[in-house]
Structure 1
């Protein structure tokens, strides 16, 4: 039944196309009165406008002349009254298929006799020729020339005339196409014409009498070239398209475009598109050329490029229409409609236990999608059997194989055979309802090895109170042989123990305290202390375990005030305060909140307020001046343990406050220097300047010999010595001035007495000062550019620039270093053997200070005095020997 209906439809279509092929519209010639009133119906053209014989039904009419309109039934009606001689216009007929058909309408006047008589009477001022524009068929067949139309002028009634034509097709290109019989006005064509080259010709005709005078106005002549279906449709534009595989049915792929050089909007250019193959995959709109997918099963993997042949035929696809064929290439782009597939149904591999980061096996896959695209690249995952994280999967970028790695060692004793499931995916999701990712099982055999001991558990947690007694057993940590499943013959050793708090019993694995466990130690982190233990079996294989000791707190610390030097900023008459904070290294309930109390011995000038968990505010109870105060404060923890602590509180005028802490300003004592201090500094500078000038004067003045009298006028207190023999240790003359009264025995005064009455006498080399009220004098001598001080037992003289010194409470044991420097310079000065040295006669060599002296010879350090006073040498102490060495060495070196 279906085949019959299809055959009938095809037969009907064929008949329609044949009818369309036989359809040929010719101009409609209608004679009408000269004067046409408005609404005049020209009914002669109704049949022609109905497209009779064209197998098409008109649906709309359009007049090209605004003086006429066309009803829906095809009648032509005048719009308003008009007078015509001839009239030519066209009616555009649109059929139900959207095609446009043109029908030429030619109106001519019926009253030709009256028209002719009027012409004879020459009542017309404007002469009109005939005929109106006419047509010729393109590519007409011979013979030629062929007559087209006769033209004539109204002046031919009164004159013997002849005609001439000129213009396009006559005297212009194409020259000679049209010829005219000059006597009767018959126009002929000499050869065939191509409408696509010359769709219309426009030239003029003139009329002349026998004298050659133009008897009428020239006549423009228009010759239209009627189209024939002589051009085959042609493809234009690209014929290459792309579409994704598995796209929806009805997806637009592209549009094929074609053109025809024949007259537009005629059946000659009415092109129909027809697929010649691949009709099960694609379809094409017969009149627009739009190609769409006919199915949703387009498969790139089966055929990535489809070449379809398309026929384009004019005349709406009629059998007598001209046609051409071309190839359209449709490329199918890839989508991820194929998952990676495994080549085997089961994979097997083997690995030794305890191996880590090793490649176990390669798993090849196949993927039909486009190579080296995200649709093809595989991603592998262990979807079953990797709960402990022992495995890792990677992809070989070149081969797209799956690489299975063991990243954590396997245990043969626990799992000799590991069953895994490997799933392969792509980088992008799958397309299609029937596609899904595929998986494959993999059996991994674990090889056995002789392993070392294993602690169980790997990390042992123990709780211990701090300060537990040494030797206390806090737990036992044993290891097992994985093969034997026992601990026979196992030895245990400690690997790490930062505080050396724990000992391990070698044979049993018992853990005992070796030192005091202190929770507050810096070795403890978050109340936990770690040690590591090593177990060694009989085959010398080892295993390692960790013990984490969680230390429980006890109340072994009392609150302490870390900063006991506090600054309290004075605020004038207002009472000042300072925050006091305490810390306790214990944890609650052995620490905060603290209890703060003033000590029992506090003086009542302080009070406490605003107590918090770990701090209290110390405030003045009464105003007090700036100064340093000691405040006793008792701090106890929550359990009542604590002690009294003394804080030093400095009350001062604060210069600034940094982070809540006061910074004292400069003390007032620092300004006590005042005007007297400044005056003293100025005087010291002046004295120093005078001393420098004096030294320059001495160095630039010729020195005379210095005479030192044996008798200094001290009443016999200095003794003469004429012993010429050198001492035991001194080879040359030397002189040492022993410091003042402090070097004598205790019977003498321990310090120099401050003189109340002092006189001075001018000398050549300085001034001598005599002290009254005491038995000791001081002498200062200047040699070169330095000043030296020497102390005598009974009499001291000053030589050099005058200086008054107050030597009160001077230590008896003055620095020997100062004396050494003095002796060095003095010995050098007096020991110079150069001629003319003015003090040579005063340098003496001494032999010895008496027989039987327990200290031996003092050489240059001897002192002239009474015999009974030499006993003090026995009490000089061990420093005397270095002094003698200094004198001796100085003499030998000559410095």
Structure 2
């Protein structure tokens, strides 16, 4: 045999086989198939690929032998040259689908038609090429590892498979690498074991996605790769202790509360989960009045009443609560060295309590001009007692607002923001079944503005223009005011009214809420046109915008070269005195009243002589100092002390009067300078007159001091002037008593008018 390899079942040369001949005799003949080892590469693109040759050692090459191929794939996948025994593959093969084919070979002598060799089996193997990438068949991968695990802790092992032949080179030899997951994880290249490379805290991040890559051909060029992802979750360990959310809790309990009643809850939070977050509460209470139980579902601490409380005995308590985990591993006890604590203050409430409003105060808004009965807002109060008495509401002393039994506040009068922008109310809530239980809450109502006032001049303007004014000269700067409240800053627009035909002046809006009036011509005439009237239209920026027409009066004046006014139309007298129309009317009324008093006193002269010094019981506003001591003439110095007349009177504090008319002051002096011709009395009366003139409005309006002083002597020879028959002096004194207070009242009225004008 000359073949390189001999198939085990058909090519053992040392083995003989018994063959039956046609004559019936049995002979030992030698069997001899010979062929090369048959391999065919997968994925070959040739239409006829030579695999090898079948040949018997009996074949002497005389072309009398015929080779046949039998078995699966014979004739369809593999064909044989019957003369030479050459085998060919006529189809593309895939080793991953079928890696070998078992065929049978047969050789026949064409001359005799007899089989020259016994039929024998042989195998054609499909050789591998690297045409399959690694695949992870067990994905998706998911692993759980405890948080805070040390470095090197095993997490999970991933395995990839390669359909290529592992015995054919490195086609199925895989290496693993980590594409995502550093620096927390690492992987062993040959085993695919993932390990922890850095400690991780579940409370910071509880899961990680790791991407693993597997490459065949040990990563050499031309290698194929496949990837998979691994979800690694961190399981919780009890490395956090529970902590109270608040350092102080305030609870209340009614003195009528029964034992075992819950009066409040406390809550601690633990970053751990599940059983690691389970906690137990405890309290430190020296009074043994309260206790705490743990709600295992919500992990809240429920404070319960352990024994009855009495408001009159003790109205507040202070206790301390602690919390700790229910289960703690010895390895993790270092995280639970100290328990978290909090303070609980418990206030005992009396059973009888007034209603409590939902808010400490209420603020409502309503637009001005709203109709009667408009809704303003609603207040609400409840009875904190157990019986929950119905509440009645009332508003204290308000003519603008009212409230019903539901706590709804509504208007009962019109609202004007310009009159009152805020209303401070007090709403009282009273329990229906216990009217002595009531409480009040402040309610603030803001009246919102609507644009209901047109702008107007900010002041009264007295504008003048000189006769020699030139065109374009500014004679007045005007501004406006608006009583409305604007969300934005007020902005006013000025213009001359469309009905204004006067072209002597023009207006320029400065765009800053002011405008200037300019002359529109050169030269004016005081004689021909002494006064001009300009209608100025002012608009605001409200919604909707309101406008008003304001008249500006311009007087023509004669001016000197420096521009100072000398004479102005018909305003000279009024300008010099600073009067207005109202003041003139007041003066005319005063003159009429004075005339009436004069005629009244002329009638009084016709009456019978009255007593010079009326009795004390009569109604007089004057202060009367009466002396009934009859003196002895000039020589008598003991009747009274003349020094009292000179310096005994106490002068009232003088007040500066505003611009009193000289004529009226003179009239005062003439009317009051009545009496003896003595220099002492004249000086005294003048002093009193000056005092009255300086302060005419201070009560009493007059202070008449009359002294029965005879002077140098009596013409009738009487010892006293009281007995004198000179009725002219008596009548003059009576006239003084009547007119003195009235003149001073008129002077007060006149002074008030002067003050209002200024």
Q: TM-score, normalised by structure 1?
A: 0.33
Q: TM-score, normalised by structure 2?
A: 0.38
Structure with the greater alpha carbon radius of gyration: 1
